[in-house]
Amino acid sequence: MSQSDVKAARPLSPHLQVYKLILTMFVSGLHRITGVCLYLGMFFVAWWLVAVASGPAYYDFAMGIFGSIIGYLALIGFTWSLILHTLGGLRHFLWDTGRGLGPGTRDKLALASLVGSIVLTLLVWIIVFAVA
């Protein structure tokens, strides 16, 4: 058999179009996306720390941006990313112990991390607005 015949006889790897999107697959993708969001969000945390250290005028400028509608949306998104990513990490830690690997349990854990992240984010921001 020639080399080109061997390549032609190999099966093709399935692509995303072949797979049916399931909850654990969706939450896994969100876990990766939130990891990137957290990485990028840390630049804003560092910027805020620089603003704190730079004095009242620059701090007021930074807080004006963070206190805008877009700033609040970014902060709420960052909070949700942090909570979802943490809950996903705890879910993976549970899996590392050999627990929660059954098909029904995997789906319940994925749904719990998704719903839990939304509920906890809402609770955090209700407290933030109540205290402020």
Q: What angle do CA 124, 67, 86 make, to 5 degrees?
A: 35
* Angstrom distance (rounded) from CA 83 to CA 81: 6
Look at the pTM and tell me if it is higher than 0.75: yes
| Helix ranges (DSSP H) in 10-100 | 23-54, 56-66, 69-96
Q: Is the pLDDT of residue 7 over 90?
A: no
Q: Residue 109, Cβ neighbours under 10 Å: how many?
A: 25
Q: Please tell me the total count of domains within the chain.
A: 1
Q: What angle do CA 9, 14, 16 make, to 5 degrees?
A: 155
pLDDT, mean of residues 15-19: 69
- The residue range of the domain holding 31 is 3-131
CATH of residue 127's domain is 1.20.1300.10
Question: pLDDT by residue (tens digit) across 77-130?
Answer: 999 999 999 999 999 999 999 999 998 999 999 999 999 999 999 999 999 999
* Angstrom distance (rounded) from CA 132 to CA 129: 5
Q: What angle do CA 67, 127, 116 make, to 5 degrees?
A: 105
pLDDT, mean of residues 51-75: 96
Q: Is 39 within 8 Å of 93 (Cβ atoms)?
A: no
